[in-house]
A and B are shown apart, each in its own frame.
Chain A
Amino acid sequence: MISKKKIENIAKLSRIKISAKEVEKFGSQISSILKFTEKLNEIDTEKIKVNKSISGLSNVWREDKVEKSEIEREKFLENAAGQKDGFIKTKAVFEE
């Protein structure tokens, strides 16, 4: 069973605020899902290499060329909660 402290830590990493009740609920659900996944330990994967990609493609490059965007800047700003002078507003990243 994953500790309360660990769940609080994961919520912090996930940038999601959760209540004490949720810590308990999610804690027990996540614990049982993780227990279920431990079944994978039945398989020996010592010598197995991870696939680079699922379809076999790799290193798909394009020319490093700057092109004009098909969509105007305003369209992208439309959805931002705060805007100023064509920039997206947000709370200060660094505190004084």
Chain B
Amino acid sequence: MLNNLTIKTASKLLETKKVSSLELTKFYLNNIKKNNKNLNSFISVLESEALDSAKHADKRILAGKKLGVLDGIPMSLKDNMSLAGSITTAGSKMLENYKAPYDATVTKKLKEAGVVILGKNNMDEFAMGSSTESSYFGNARNPHDSERVPGGSSGGSAIATVSDQVVFSLGSDTGGSIRQPASFCGAVGLKPTYGAVSRYGLLAMASSLDQIGPFSKNVEDAAILLDAISGHDPKDATSIPNFPKVGNSYKKDIKGLKIGVPKEALGGGVNKKIEECFRDAIFKLEKAGAKVVEVSLPLTEYAVPCYYIIVPAEVSSNMGRYDGIKYGLNESKSKNEKVKNLIELYEENRAEGFGDEVKRRIMLGSYVLSAGYYDAYYKKAQKVRALIKQEYENIFKKVDVLATPTAPNLPFKFGEKSADPLAMYLEDIFTIPANLAGLPAVSVPCGMVAPEDGDKELPIGIQFIGPQMGESKILQAAYNLEKII
């Protein structure tokens, strides 16, 4: 009875007192105890705090004071979101012992809605990666095949959502880090419009691309969560004033919705089975009344190179705060004789605290921002970004949403891509443009298929991208697809 609960079904059980929040919480905590060793989706589990929150939720519910649909619902946060009084590691040795002194705005909002926080999810270090393989806390495993990655960087959150470890989870997305793991694990993953959700309390990776978003079992839950976490925040100067709630606006028929399929999203480089599944989904949507149009986005091939100049540049700036002085790993005790001065202390702390991918991106960023290279690389990439944004704005004059496969490949095996940074980067080829252009995008499961190199069936996701603040439209497409798949 407690398996595969959505927010609505769990909330109904709590409302009708068929189950208590405490029972629900214990159910999920037990599952985590049983399978976290294998899945490694949690870096920290907050058992006593969760049981406490659940008891408080039950008191409210019994007194007829249920806060809303999220009251008493067990969930988890990716470990780059601050939870006051709890260790927040960002998947890194650098912050292994860092206790957040404050709540992120999203944490605060969800706490006020009464959620029960079960723990913090495993992730690629500082959100840099597409497989969760760069986590200091070990690999997380795809629940559909334990020899394969769950995707990244929000791998843990995706796993928890589909493995009955939580009802839902929050992740963050800078180049696909919600959508790609959602696709790899079979969850719904939504990246809102840039500025829709406050980034206050999210450990920053690339500040002009990062967005927090939900992992859920269905589209309805994603919409509920979007409304719960979105909205202007004076603590985040990039948050959009008057960002609209979606409510039930997306629960519309698909008839007449114009779906653009970019020709650049198919053929060359996309796994044949994924393409087949994608085409089938599009065909079904068309049969249900959507108007499918082939479009062209010629700048698509420039999105990944553009991203890998801008993001490392912003990363190099954001990672500058990790010096081991105010917080973070400090090697002065263990290396006191060798560390002669402040600069050497920084160099030692950062060498020890950061993994390879983080170091690589910081150095890449320092290079493209340095004198003599700034114009050729960083400024150039900024201009290309402006062109990409313009290309999307123009296409949305012709169509309501765009559809692409979420990922070009099926979940790959551990170690398959980690040796070659570029191979890993190309996993995000379909997800990156939405972050560059600041647009909303959602990944919805659209099928399962066995890979060429294995026999366990793996999930495939379809992505819908919308215009700025077009969450209603992409959720409408996603909601309808969910019904017909």
Say which residue of A37, A49, A62, A90 sits within 8 Å of B325 (CB atoms). Answer: A90
Interface residues of B in 387-425 (CB under 8 A from A): 387, 389, 421-422, 425
Which A residues touch B36, using CB under 8 A?
A: none
Q: How far is the CA of A87 from the CA of B327 in the complex (A)?
A: 13
Within B306-349, which residues are at the interface with A (CB < 8 Å)? 306, 308-309, 316, 320, 323-328, 330, 332-333, 339, 341-348
Interchain CA distance A2-B370 in the complex, whole Å: 14
Q: Are B366 and A93 in contact, with the CB atoms below 8 A?
A: no
Q: How large is the interface on A (under 10, 10 to 19, 20 to 34, 35 or more residues)?
A: 35 or more
A38 to B380, CA, bound (A): 10
Say yes or no: is A15 at the interface (Cβ < 8 Å to chain B).
Answer: yes
B379 touches A50 (CB 8 A): yes
Chain B residues within an 8 Å CB radius of A91? 332, 339, 341-342, 345
* A-contact 0/1 string along B377-388, CB 8 Å cutoff: 101111111110
- A16/B421 in contact, CB under 8 A: no
Q: Which chain A residues numbered 70 to 94 have a C-beta less than 8 Å away from chain B?
A: 70-71, 75-76, 78-82, 88, 90-93
Q: A57 CA to B328 CA in the complex, in Å?
A: 33
Q: How far is the CB of A79 from chain B (nearest CB, A)?
A: 4
Closest residue of chain B to A25 (Cβ to Cβ) is B356
Most buried by B among A33, A39, A42, A71: A33
Q: Is B362 an interface residue (CB 8 A)?
A: yes
Tell me, yes or no, whether B363 is within 8 Å of chain A by CB. yes
**CA A62 to CA B389, docked complex, whole Å:** 28
**Contact partners of A43 in chain B: CB under 8 A:** 299, 302, 384, 387
Chain A 24-53 interface 0/1 with B at a Cβ cutoff of 8 Å (1 = within): 001001101110111111110100111101
Name the one of A50, A57, A79 contacting B327, with C-beta atoms under 8 angstroms.
A79
Is B194 a contact partner of A37 (Cβ separation < 8 A)? no
Q: Of B308, B320, B348, which contacts A36 at CB under 8 A?
A: B308
Stretch touching chain A among B44-52, B60-68, B178-186, B232-240: B232-240
B73-81, B97-105, B110-118, B152-160: which lies at the interface = B97-105
Q: How far is the CB of B201 from chain A (nearest CB, A)?
A: 12
Given A51-B389, A79-B326, also A17-B351 (CB < 8 A): yes
**Cβ-defined contact, B238 with A57, below 8 A:** yes
List chain B residues, Cβ under 8 A from A60.
237-238
- Cα(A7)–Cα(B351), bound, Å: 15
Is B208 located at the chain interface by the 8 A CB criterion? yes
A7 to B367, CA, bound (A): 9
CB within 8 Å for A55 and B366 given contacts A40-B305, A50-B383, A81-B332: no
Beta-carbon contact of A16 and B384 below 8 Å: no
| B326 in contact with A88 (CB, 8 Å) | yes
Residue of A nearest to B101 (CB): A75
Determine the distance from Cα of A2 to Cα of B301 in the docked complex, in whole angstroms.
25
| B325 in contact with A45 (CB, 8 Å) | no
Q: Which residues of A contact B97 (CB under 8 A)?
A: 79
Contact (A18, B351) CB under 8 Å given A10-B363, A33-B422: yes
Q: Please tell me if B359 contacts chain A, counting CB pairs below 8 Å.
A: yes
Contact A48 B383 (CB under 8 A): yes
- A14 and B366 in contact, given A41-B380, A50-B382, A93-B342 (Cβ under 8 angstroms): yes
CA distance A18 to B381 in the complex (A): 28
B433 within 8 A of A: no
How does the 8 Å CB contact mask read for A1-26 relative to B, with 1 for contact and 0 for none? Answer: 01000110011011111100010001
Known: A14-B316, A43-B384, A55-B195. A30 touches B326 (CB 8 A): no
With A40-B384, A75-B101 as known contacts, state yes or no: A53 contacts B238, CB within 8 Å.
yes
**Does A13 lie within 8 Å of B341, measured CB to CB?**
no
CB distance from A43 to the nearest CB of B (A): 6
Across-interface contacts of B421 in A (CB, < 8 A): 29, 33
Given contacts A15-B350, A50-B379, A50-B386, contact A88 B102 (CB under 8 A): no
The answer, among A13, A54, A90, for a CB contact under 8 Å with B208, is A54
Q: How far is the CB of A69 from chain B (nearest CB, A)?
A: 10
With a cutoff of 8 Å between Cβ atoms, the chain A residues found around residue B195 in the complex are 54-55, 57
Q: Which residues of A contact B14 (CB under 8 A)?
A: none
CA distance A43 to B387 in the complex (A): 10
Q: Which residue of B lies closest to A94 (CB)?
A: B342
Q: Which residues of chain A are near B316, meaning CB under 8 Å?
A: 14
Q: Is the CB of B347 within 8 A of A17?
A: yes
Minimum CB distance partner of A12 in chain B:
B347
Q: Which of B102, B299, B323, B363 contacts A71 (CB 8 A)?
A: B102
Collect the chain B residues with CB atoms within 8 Å of residue A16's CB.
347, 350-351, 354, 359, 362-363
B189 within 8 A of A: no
Q: Tell whether, in the assembled complex, residue A80 and residue B363 are in contact, meaning their CB atoms are under 8 Å apart.
A: no
Task: Pull 22 A–B residue pairs with CB atoms less than 8 Å apart, ordered by A.
Answer: A14-B362, A15-B350, A29-B421, A33-B421, A33-B422, A33-B425, A34-B368, A37-B306, A37-B309, A39-B302, A40-B306, A40-B380, A45-B380, A48-B387, A54-B195, A54-B209, A54-B389, A55-B193, A70-B102, A79-B98, A79-B101, A95-B341
> Beyond A71-B101, A91-B341: 5 further Cβ-contacts under 8 Å?
A33-B364, A54-B194, A54-B209, A60-B237, A80-B326
